[in-house]
Structure 1
Amino acid sequence: MVGDRVAKSGKPNGRRAPLWARLCSIFGCVLMVVSGGLLIGGQALIARYAGAVQQKSLFGDEPAGAAPRKVSDIKGPLNILLVGIDPRDAATAPLSDSIIVVHIPEGLKEAYLFSIPRDLLVEIPPFAKTGFAGGTSKINAAMSYGSSVGNGKHDVAQGFDLLAKTVSKLTGIQHFDAGAIINFGGFKKIVDAMGGVTMTIDQDVKSEHLQPDGKPRPRYPSCADNHCAHPYYGPQAQYKKGTFHLEGWQALDYVRQRYGLKNSDYDRQRHQQQFIKAMADQALSADVVTNPIKLDRVLRAAGQSLIFDGNGHNVVDWGLALHGIRSDSMTLIKLPGHSVFSGGSYRGEGLDPSAQEFFTSVSDGSIATFMVNHPEFINRTS
């Protein structure tokens, strides 16, 4: 059973979430605490939740003697790199399951969000910290190549650094103004703390990973090494087209699926973007913001789900800087791509040449004009 169906026109009650509150859900942070008078307010409360977010350097070592920056230093254009990972221990090399770039033009009044396919074949640059010599591989492996700290241990923050360098090489974006690593397991906790999330499912999907009751599907013993295309067997959770209220495990399971989808990972990217919007709307609904106990649970779960680097600014600084951006000025982008085969074997994904034109428009500030001329790049959310 998918979940509780709601009316097609049904949306969470309460104020329509501005983009910076949407970024709150992406960051897994607590920006709604400072949301336009919605909440109690007070510096102590803000500091409490901002401090719950783990802050690390994600873009390499800070320059020696760098002076602290002020909130007023957050000026457009801005580029933010967001990476989703599955929960892993320090002995396991991390892989980036989701890679999202948020571009905010000068003026901070609109934003563009695009996903990079996890199987995209790219040039990963050399990385001296791990001795990686560089080479062509799927982009989701960049974190792994950059994460080793010796003695069989791995640091996701260090791996993020190499991934950011790889994304820069791919897109031409020379500098990211902020970055975040989001734990997908934490997303489930956030949704559960909110009491579920209302989401529109745009196609019928079967789960590769879970049974209808949410328990893991059993794995074929011969596929323990993960080399099988479909290593699981038994009944599958199903998600039918329509608008439903989903539990945390259902929402997270739905947006992880790519097998059986017409456009595979490209459909999954769209579903993840839809999930981000649905989470933010639910987090800013009256059911959450007027319930102090539920709100506290949501904020605590959010703070525990994230590693954040704001280049000298905390998550509250970012919320204040982006308070003028509204949801109707956020554009979701789909990058055109295709599967790459060699000798009849699947090697990964490649982007169409027009994607490079899009990246250029991001770098030179002409993205609005590009989108007018290329409406096919707009990722419809329903």
Structure 2
Amino acid sequence: MTVSGGVLVSGQALLARYSGKIDAPGTLIGDPAPGATKEPADIKGPIDILLAGIDPRDDSQAPRSDSIIVAHIPATMDQVFLFSIPRDLYVEIPAFDKTGFNGTTAKINSAMSFGSAVGGGKHDVGQGFQLLAETVGGVTGIRDFDAGAIINFGGFKKIVEAMGGVTMTIDQTVKSEHLQPDGKTRPKSAGCAAGGCDHPYVGPQKIYKKGTYHLQAWEALDYVRQRYGLPNGDYDRQRHQQQFIKAMAEQAMSKDVVTDPTKLLKVLDAAGGSLTFDGGGNSVVDWGMALQGINTGDMTLVKLPGGGLFDNGRYLGEQLSPSTGEFFQAVREDRIGAFLLDHPEYAAADG
């Protein structure tokens, strides 16, 4: 959106060609009110956008949201605050009439699965997103998101490839659970080949050392998906994913991309295959125009404190610290900046 608004304002016809692959109005956050007409000027802050990252799956498999991020844009429309919802957060998932789901208490990343069934063993990831949005709303108090997006991680890799990689600052040494140093998949041990093991892989591991590097697409995606072996587990991974989004935005806005028509078209092609966007009645082009005043330097990363939730020694999932209730109130009242000044521990490192 930043690229489309800030750089390609004069190329709306070109963008329309690609936005048709991305825009999915009414599928993620619900249909706009009957008869409603929206113009780009109607996109005004404060704004809350829900982003969900999923692994590539066909419609016979129930989707799970492995990454859940909320982007808050204040009324001033001059910055973005990003905060992640832990994928294993143990929450109440509400009933969902479209699937006959009665509601339950479970990890939040299963909400998409419970809401995605359309019959005949098929699943609709967009419909699943609707239940995820309701569930995240129950946690944060954000009852209506202004826009939503689903990011397919397989396609995300293609976007980074089209950009020629991404420069990231790695803030802690991370060992890959899944890949060898050359990027090939680590083999599974004989005892875990059939599944059922938490850590089934064996052999040499790709290691990401502290420092600033220009990562290939497979390296960047592998790095931000690691949580095993990290001091703070999924909370460290959430921070790395936020850093990755910011680094991608900076790369997309770099002269290496925006002044290279061939590379830029490859990026747009890849985006069309990896993103699904519901702008609440406005297209991704409209959103790009409305947000053109925001640059990557105005992106602030927020970390939510929390820890494990146990029942008689049995791990149920994650729980957020009580103080996050005050943070979510600040989000709803559009005063995150002031909250961060009073609670600097919520400010995540950019890397």
TM-score (norm 2): 0.95
2:40 alignment partner AA: V
Of residues 31, 48, 60, the one that matches 1:91 is 60
C-alpha separation in 2, matches of 1:377 and 1:266: 12
DSSP-derived class of the 1:245 partner:
strand
C-alpha separation in 1, matches of 2:84 and 2:9: 35
Residue 215 of structure 1, CA deviation: 1.5
Number of equivalenced pairs: 351
Name the structure 2 match of 1:356. 325
Given the alignment of the two structures, is residue 62 of structure 1 paired with residue 31 of structure 2, yes or no? yes
C-alpha separation in 1, matches of 2:347 and 2:127: 33
Name the structure 1 match of 2:305. 336
DSSP-derived class of the 1:179 partner:
strand
Q: Is the 8 A contact 2:51 2:150 kept in 1?
A: yes
Deviations 1:120-156 (A, max 9, x none): 0011000111111111100000000100111111110
Name the structure 2 match of 1:372. 341
C-alpha separation in 1, matches of 2:193 and 2:279: 39
C-alpha separation in 2, matches of 1:369 and 1:297: 40
Name the structure 2 match of 1:192. 161
CA RMSD in angstroms comes to: 1.7
Of residues 112, 120, 137, the one that matches 1:151 is 120
Residue 56 of structure 1, CA deviation: 4.4
Given the alignment of the two structures, is residue 207 of structure 1 paired with residue 176 of structure 2, yes or no? yes
Of residues 268, 290, 301, the one that matches 2:270 is 301
Residue 234 of structure 1, CA deviation: 1.7
Alignment of 1:1-382 (within 5 A): 21=2, 32-35=3-6, 38-39=7-8, 41-59=10-28, 61-62=30-31, 65-223=34-192, 226-382=195-351
C-alpha separation in 2, matches of 1:370 and 1:225: 48
DSSP-derived class of the 1:115 partner:
strand
1:71 alignment partner AA: P
Gaps of 5+ in 1: 1-19, 22-31
TM-score (norm 1): 0.88
Q: Is the 8 A contact 1:205 1:261 kept in 2?
A: yes
Q: Is the 8 A contact 2:147 2:280 kept in 1?
A: yes
Q: Is the 8 A contact 1:33 1:41 kept in 2?
A: no
Question: Would the alpha carbon gap of residues 59 and 279 (structure 1) be closer, same or farther in structure 2, given more than 3 Å must change?
Answer: closer
Gaps of 5+ in 2: none
Residue 54 of structure 1, CA deviation: 4.3
C-alpha separation in 2, matches of 1:48 and 1:130: 34
Q: Is the 8 A contact 1:83 1:98 kept in 2?
A: yes
Deviations 1:24-46 (A, max 9, x none): xxxxxxxx2442xx459333212
Identity of aligned residues (%): 63
Q: Is the 8 A contact 1:179 1:309 kept in 2?
A: yes
Deviations 1:151-193 (A, max 9, x none): 1111100000000000001100111000000001111101111
Name the structure 2 match of 1:24. none
Q: Is the 8 A contact 1:77 1:106 kept in 2?
A: yes
Deviations 1:343-374 (A, max 9, x none): 32322100000001100111123322211110
